[in-house]
C-alpha cells in the first residue's frame, strides 16, 4: 500500500496528541512494508519559516501514485485537500473534536472516512447525527520501545500539553482568545461549538487548571505545564511553566516530575497524553462522561464527575503512598496494552479496507 500522510510538522509543533503519533504511524507503516510519503503541513511550514506559503496544500505529484491520503490538520485544511483531490483518491481524516459541523462537512464526500480515537465523541456524534457512514474509532497508542527510560521526583500536578489557561473559573476564555483554538481546550462547557449559551451534550463542569488550583490549595503541591503562551498563566502562580517539549527527547523528563496527570480534555478527548503519563507510571485523573466508557482508561485511571471528587483523589495521591503505587502500577499495565505494534493489525485492516487493498 502507498500512503501519503499530511500532518503538522512535528519537529516544529511539538506537544502531545495526534501530531506526534503521526510520525510513529509513518514509521510503523514503513516497518510493515508499506510506502509512506510524509508531507509537513502548511501550518508547520509557516511556523518554521515564519512566512505564509501559497498554492495548494498538496501538489498532485505528492498523492497521484498513493492508494490513500491520510490527513491530520485543521478542518479548513482537510476540506481544502478533499476538494483538491476531488474524489480521485480515498481519504482518511483523523479528527479529535466533537464539532458536528465538521462531521457533516467531511462525510458528505463519498471518498472520505473519519478516524476517531474516542468512543465518547463517536457516541455523542451518533446521538446527534444518527447513523454515520465511514466513521471508525480505533484506540490511540505509542511505540513504547522508542521511548527513553526516566526517573524523577513525581511531586507535581501534571497539566496537558498545549493547555491554554482558563483562569476565570467559569469556562470562558480570556479576552482575545478565539473559541476555535487548535490546541486542547479545557472548559466548563462545549457552548462555543454552538450558539452562545447552548450546550452540545458533553459538559465538563470545570477545567484541568481548576482541579490543579484546588489540589494546590489543599496540599501545597505545584502544577507543571508546557506552553507557548506563558502570559496566559499570569493568573495561575501555582503553575510552573516549561518550554514546549518535543517528541521522544523531553516528554519523559516532563512526566517524571508528575505525581498525577489531570485530563479534563475536550479537543483530544482521551488520547495519547494520558497514555504517555501512564507509561511512566503517573496516575491519571480524568473527567468521566457518565454514560460512555473509555476503553483506554477504564479501570486504570481515576474518573471523576465533580470537582470535589477530583480534588479528593488528587489529595490522596499525594498523601497516601501505597494508594499512589497501586494506581501507578495499574497505569503502567494499561499503557502496555496500547503499544502501536500491538494495535497494528487493527490499523492495517482498516487502511487496507479504505484503500481497496487486501493483504
Q: Per residue in 237-285, pLDDT tens?
A: 898 987 666 555 567 788 889 999 988 655 444 567 888 899 999 999 9
pLDDT on residue 35: 96
Phi, psi (deg, nearest 5) at residue 164: -105, 115
Q: What is the pLDDT of residues 332-351, one digit of tens each?
A: 999 999 999 999 999 999 99
CATH number of the 2-143+339-355 domain: 3.40.50.11930
Query: Could you report the per-residue pLDDT of 79-115, keeping only the tens digit for each?
Result: 889 998 989 999 999 987 777 888 889 999 999 999 9
Q: Which residue has the higher pLDDT, 18 or 67?
A: 67
Are 250 and 269 spatial neighbours (Cβ–Cβ below 8 Å)?
Answer: no
Asked whether the beta carbons of 26 and 5 are under 8 A apart, the reply is yes
Confidence (pLDDT) at 149: 79
- In sequence order, what DSSP letters do the residues of 259-270 get, joined into one string? EEEEE--SSS-S
* For residue 44, pLDDT beyond 80: no
pLDDT in tens, 129-166: 888 889 999 988 888 887 777 777 899 999 876 554 44
* More reliable by pLDDT, 154 or 228: 154
Long-range Cβ contacts of 72-79 (<8 Å, 24+ apart): 72/5, 72/6, 72/7, 72/8, 72/18, 72/19, 72/22, 73/6, 73/7, 73/8, 73/41, 73/43, 74/43, 74/182, 75/99, 75/102, 75/105, 77/6, 77/41, 77/42, 77/43, 78/106, 79/105, 79/106
Least confidently predicted of 69-78, 151-160, 296-305: 296-305
- Please determine whether the domains at 2-143+339-355 and 144-337 fall in the same fold group of CATH: yes
What confidence tier does 312 reach under pLDDT thresholds 50, 70, 90? Answer: very high
43 by DSSP, 3-state: which? helix
* pLDDT reported for residue 55: 53
pLDDT greater than 50 at residue 207:
yes
> Measured between alpha carbons, how far is 232 from 244 in angstroms, rounded to an integer?
14
Across the range 110-128, mean pLDDT stands at 84
pLDDT at 320: 97
Is the domain covering 144-337 a CATH 3.40.50.2000 domain?
yes
Listed by start position, the domains of the chain span 2-143+339-355, 144-337
What integer pLDDT is reported at residue 185 of this predicted model? 35
Amino acid at each position: 500500500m502507498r500512503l501519503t500522510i499530511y500532518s503538522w510538522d512535528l519537529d516544529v509543533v511539538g506537544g502531545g496528541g495526534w501530531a506526534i503519533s503521526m510520525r510513529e504511524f509513518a514509521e510503523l507503516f514503513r516497518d510493515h512494508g508499506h510506502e509512506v510519503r510524509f508531507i509537513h503541513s502548511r501550518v508547520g511550514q509557516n511556523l518554521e519559516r515564519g512566512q505564509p506559503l501559497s498554492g495548494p496544500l498538496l501538489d498532485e505529484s505528492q498523492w497521484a501514485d498513493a492508494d490513500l491520503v491520510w490527513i491530520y490538520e485543521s478542518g479548513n485544511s482537510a476540506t481544502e485537500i478533499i476538494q483538491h483531490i476531488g474524489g480521485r483518491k480515498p481519504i482518511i481524516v483523523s479528527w479529535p473534536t466533537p464539532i458536528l459541523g465538521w462531521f457533516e462537512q467531511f462525510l458528505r464526500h463519498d471518498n472520505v472516512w473519519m478516524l476517531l480515537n474516542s468512543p465518547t465523541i463517536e457516541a455523542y456524534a451518533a446521538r446527534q447525527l444518527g447513523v454515520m457512514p465511514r466513521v471508525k474509532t480505533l484506540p490511540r497508542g505509542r511505540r513504547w520501545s522508542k521511548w527513553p527510560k526516566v526517573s524523577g521526583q513525581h511531586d507535581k500536578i501534571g497539566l496537558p500539553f498545549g493547555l491554554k489557561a482558563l483562569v476565570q473559573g467559569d469556562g470562558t476564555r480570556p479576552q482575545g482568545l478565539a473559541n476555535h483554538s487548535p490546541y486542547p481546550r479545557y472548559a466548563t462547557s462545549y457552548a462555543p461549538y454552538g450558539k452562545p449559551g447552548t450546550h452540545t451534550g458533553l459538559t465538563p463542569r470545570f477545567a484541568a487548571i481548576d482541579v490543579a488550583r484546588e489540589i494546590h490549595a489543599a496540599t501545597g503541591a505545584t502544577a507543571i505545564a508546557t506552553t507557548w503562551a506563558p502570559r496566559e498563566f499570569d493568573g495561575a502562580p501555582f503553575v510552573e511553566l516549561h518550554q514546549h517539549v518535543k517528541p521522544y527527547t523531553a516528554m519523559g523528563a516532563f512526566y517524571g516530575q508528575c505525581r498525577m496527570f489531570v485530563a479534563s480534555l475536550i479537543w483530544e478527548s482521551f488520547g495519547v497524553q494520558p497514555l504517555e503519563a501512564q507509561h511512566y507510571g503517573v496516575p491519571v485523573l480524568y473527567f468521566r462522561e457518565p454514560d460512555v466508557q473509555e476503553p483506554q482508561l477504564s479501570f486504570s485511571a481515576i474518573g471523576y464527575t465533580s470537582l470535589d471528587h477530583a480534588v479528593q483523589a488528587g489529595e490522596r495521591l499525594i498523601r497516601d503512598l501505597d494508594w499512589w503505587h497501586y494506581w501507578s502500577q495499574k497505569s503502567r499495565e494499561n499503557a502496555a496494552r496500547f503499544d502501536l505494534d500491538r494495535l497494528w493489525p487493527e490499523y492495517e485492516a482498516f487502511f487496507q479496507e479504505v484503500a481497496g487493498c487486501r493483504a
